[in-house]
Structures are given as structure tokens and as C-alpha cells.
Amino acid sequence: MGGRAGESSAQRLIAGVTRGLMRATLGPAFKAGHPIERRRRRQARVSGLMRVPRGVDCRETACGDVPGESVTVRGAPPAGRAVLYLHGGGFCQGSPTTHRIITGHLALQCVARVFATDYRLAPENPFPAAVEDAVAAYRGLLAEGVAPNAIVIGGDSSGGGLAVAAALRLRQLGVPRPAALVLFSPWVDLTLGALGPPPPGEFLITKPFLEECARLYLAGHSAEDPLASPIEADLHDLPPTLIQVGTDELLLTDSRRLHAALEAAGVEAMLQVFPRRWHVFQLLAGLLEDADRALAAAGEFVRSRTALGTVAK
């Protein structure tokens, strides 16, 4: 998916301009060695400038004991479907508000309530706090009466890895599994052992940043723990999984390895690779056509696995 054939000159211009702007504005938020609080503030400020999709409402709430944000389609009746969304940020930064573009478009495309978790962050709350919060939020949805086969767990970057870890932990606990997983540029190997050199188009994520985040999140715990690095896990009996990734990002290898490991474990898995797109490019939905196509494909995948509605207009 995401081929360049037929791409308009306007889209090429938009991609080039937004890549440069994100490098200048968002890049410092992912700079190793910068104080965590400064990085968090920078990411929040830049994300606040991005256009949230029309027709959705965002409301602070909680699911179980986990705080977060409920994102719903304005005026639409309850769809009976829920997406539990886990934001990225290297386990150390990010929040539901920094990812409203993604969660808003998912609410529209999936015809679902999206609960974006405000899970605990490192270094204040290291592993396994984030996994515990993800599992608690999922159980909160079940307690609200949402059926397991109507729940999808999604996430980007570290949140994508966390989504897989949550599914693994639910399997350990004997909790009914979700209907599907949707992962954008997932980070699933905190050992960084298979990380290759950055592609020429990478402008956001660096190996020093990942090393720092892994160290703060693990706080001395082994990176080989399957709940920290799901690529190390036995992945059998996980739900159908959609993975989306760009070619211009350092974590492309993680996505390809995870896809291969899921298929080897007998899990239905789909990998969609978007040429010349960067880490979590879905954050440009509403501006970049590839981002719109990616989230539309994610919505189609979710609806086909839960079969509870049609696309909201």
C-alpha cells in the first residue's frame, strides 16, 4: 500500500513540507538527553497545533481505574464497538491529547467509541505499570458491558508494542481476547538487537532515543521479558492483527519481524508498508492522503473483525 504511483504534485509538496516542519518542531521532543518534562511539553505544544477531525467529541473520563479520554462521533448512536488506544512516546511521554488526530479518525472510521488511555509513564512509573494499566482499561470496558469480540486494542510506536503486551497478559490471565489488534509502527523489541541503520528518510526516531526510553522504562528489568519486548513471546492465539509502517523509519524492521513471527505462530496478520512515509505518519490524517488511506484501511479492518456497523458520514 501507499505506492507513489499517481501521487499528485500537491501531495508530494505537502509530504515534503510537513516532513520538514515536523523535523523542526517535533524533532526536539524525541531528542535523547533532553529533560523528560521539556520533551513532554514540546510534544504537547506541537500536537496542539494539529487539526483534530471534525465531528468528534473528546471527553475526559476513566475506564476502570485508568484515566483517559473518550473519543466519540458527535450525534451518532452507540455503535457497541470500542477501540482501546495506547499512545506512543517511548513509554515516557505522550498522552491522549497528543494523539487526538489518530483517535478522532479511528472513531469515525471504525464507528466506535475510542478510549485513549492516559497510562502511567516512565521514569516515574516503570515497567510493568503501563501493561497493568492497559489490562485494567480493557477489563474496565468488559465491566461496562462491551463484548470482547467488539473490542479492538490499538496503539502506535511504544503503544503498539504495549498493545501486543496487553494481549499477551490477557492471555496469561485467561481473560477473553479482543477481536483484533491495530498497530502503527510498533516498537516490539526493547533489546534493540536487530535494529538496523536508520533509512535516509528517518528524521524523528534515533537509536539513542530508543536506548534512553528503554532504560527509563525497564529500570533494570530485563528487556527480554516478553511483556516488555513482545517479539520475544510465544504469539500463538493472539487476535487478528493489522500492522502499518512506513519505509522511512527506524522501526520498519520491528514491524516486519513481528508480522513474520505472528504468521509463524498461526495468527492472522496483515502488514501494510507505505513507501517514503515516516514514523506514525497517520498523525497527518486530514492533510496527507496516505495517512487518510491508512486510517481508512484500519477502520475497514476493525469493522470487518467486529461487524457492528458502517462508516460514519
CATH code: domain of residue 274: 3.40.50.1820
Residue 27, all three cell numbers: 524533532
pLDDT score, position 200: 86
Q: Within 10 Å of residue 86's Cβ, how many Cβ atoms?
A: 31
Query: Residue 211 falls within a domain, yes or no?
Result: yes
Query: Among the options 105, 232, 249, 259, which is catalytic?
Result: 249
What's the average model confidence in pLDDT over 234-255?
97
| Separation CA 53–CA 109 (nearest Å) | 11
Beta bridge partners of 72: 57
At 78-117, the pLDDT tens digits run 778 999 999 999 999 999 999 999 999 999 999 999 999 9
Q: How far, in Å, are 85, 102, 209, 276, 283 from residue 48 at the CA level?
A: 19, 13, 23, 25, 12
Nearest Cα neighbor of 25 from 37, 10, 39 is 39
Where would I find the beta strands (DSSP E) of 237-289?
A: 241-246, 269-274
Is residue 60 predicted with pLDDT exceeding 70?
yes
279 belongs to the catalytic site? yes
Query: Burial level of 112, CB count in 10 A (0-12/13-18/19+)?
Result: buried
Query: Residue 1 falls within a domain, yes or no?
Result: no
Q: Within 10 Å of residue 87's Cβ, how many Cβ atoms?
A: 29
Query: Residue 97 falls within a domain, yes or no?
Result: yes
232 belongs to the catalytic site? no
Query: Residue 9 falls within a domain, yes or no?
Result: no
Query: Among the options 47, 70, 157, 255, which is catalytic?
Result: 157
Query: Among the options 87, 105, 259, 279, which is catalytic?
Result: 279
pLDDT grade for 312, boundaries at 50, 70 and 90: very low
Q: How many domains does the chain have?
A: 1
Angle of helix 9-25 relative to helix 289-306, nearest 10 degrees? Answer: 90
Q: Which range of residues forms the domain containing residue 168?
A: 16-306
221 belongs to the catalytic site? no
Query: Residue 196 falls within a domain, yes or no?
Result: yes
Residue 143, all three cell numbers: 465491566
The mean pLDDT of the chain is: 94
At 209-229, the pLDDT tens digits run 999 999 999 999 999 999 999
Q: Residue 82 in contact with residue 146, Cβ under 8 Å?
A: yes
Query: Residue 249 falls within a domain, yes or no?
Result: yes
Query: Residue 268 falls within a domain, yes or no?
Result: yes
Question: pTM for the full model?
Answer: 0.95
Beta bridge partners of 255: none
Q: What percent of the chain has pLDDT over 70?
A: 96
Residue 207, all three cell numbers: 537509536
What single DSSP character describes residue 232? G
Q: What are phi and psi of 243, to 5 degrees?
A: -120, 130
